[in-house]
Amino acid sequence: MMDLTLLVLIIGITADFTSGKLTCVTRQSELSGTTDDDQARVTCEGDDHMTSCVSYQPGPGGHGTRDGEFIEVSDDGVVTCVARNGAGGTGVHAIARCCSQNNLKCGYAGSSQSGSDDDDQSWVTYDFREDKPTFLTGCAVNTYWKNIDGAYPDSTKEEQLTDIKGNKCVAVNGSGGKGVWATAVYCSHSSLNCKAKWSAQSGGSQGDTAKVSCDDGWVLTGCNSYTWYKNNDGAYITDADECVAVNGGNGKWVQAVAICCED
């Protein structure tokens, strides 16, 4: 069993990109196997930095059984987004957001395990530095026991751009779960500025979606799905850079949460 406290590894890779603007693309893995704890894995290409990692369970069955996602950094610095299938699941996708900008630096940090009660939280936070603007660009949740409510950047749940409090990434355990871990991505650049934006709530049926996009001039770096009622099938990013959260059939709702950055 992997304790993500071992993943507190900050890497600073400076690359000389030709464009001074922040640009991002999405990379999605193939579907994982259907055995408990089967993984799907995806990396960024070239000198792109992984600014977030999220997982999505498309079905056709086993909804609400994914174990979530985390970021793995190898000894030689290769960064991988890993999604994990849960018991009874029918496979998951790992989805990485990959971004580039002159002198952009990103690091990855893991939390300790949360408690096992409903809505228990685990989180990672990073102090903002005026001399080196550093922001939360991605937030992930994983467990070995499914039953997760999701993850989100700590912010006011509004359908407009709002500040991320304390650069804090929060992972939430669902009813019947045995604890979750959070993985956060922090990126720094002299002109970077990042905020969160929440969607409206989805419907309560399996497959209902909630969608949110960044405002004009802002770039999507992270995407999450969150609910109070577990049975959360995760999130994915469309070709139009829209963050889409998918209800696993909890009878209530999910919300999509975007992290949006400007330079």
What pLDDT is recorded for position 4?
36
The one-letter amino acid at 65: T
Per domain, the residue ranges of the chain are 4-190
Mean pLDDT estimate for the chain = 91
> What is the rounded average pLDDT of the residues 82-100?
97
What pLDDT is recorded for position 249?
96
Residue pLDDT, tens place only, 48-66: 999 999 999 999 999 999 9
What pLDDT is recorded for position 245?
98
Q: How do 255-262 and 219-226 pair as beta strands?
A: antiparallel
Structure pTM? 0.91
Over pLDDT 90: what percentage of the chain?
A: 87
Residue pLDDT, tens place only, 183-237: 999 999 988 999 999 999 999 999 999 999 999 999 999 999 999 999 999 999 9
Q: Is the pLDDT of residue 106 over 90?
A: yes
User: 175: which residues sit within 8 A by CB, 6+ positions away?
Assistant: 118, 147, 230
- Report the candidate in 227, 128, 208, 114 with the shortest Cα–Cα distance to residue 168: 128
User: 260: which residues sit within 8 A by CB, 6+ positions away?
Assistant: 161, 194, 195, 196, 197, 214, 215, 218, 219, 220, 221
Question: Please, what sign has the CA dihedral across residues 202, 219, 128, 82?
Answer: positive
Structure-block tokens of residue 112: 């300790």
d(CA 31, CA 38) in angstroms, rounded, equals 10
Structure-block tokens of residue 48: 């792109």
d(CA 91, CA 89) in angstroms, rounded, equals 6
Class of 4-190 in CATH: mainly beta
- Report the candidate in 212, 211, 206 with the shortest Cα–Cα distance to residue 229: 206
Q: Is the pLDDT of residue 6 over 80?
A: no
Residue pLDDT, tens place only, 130-141: 667 899 999 999
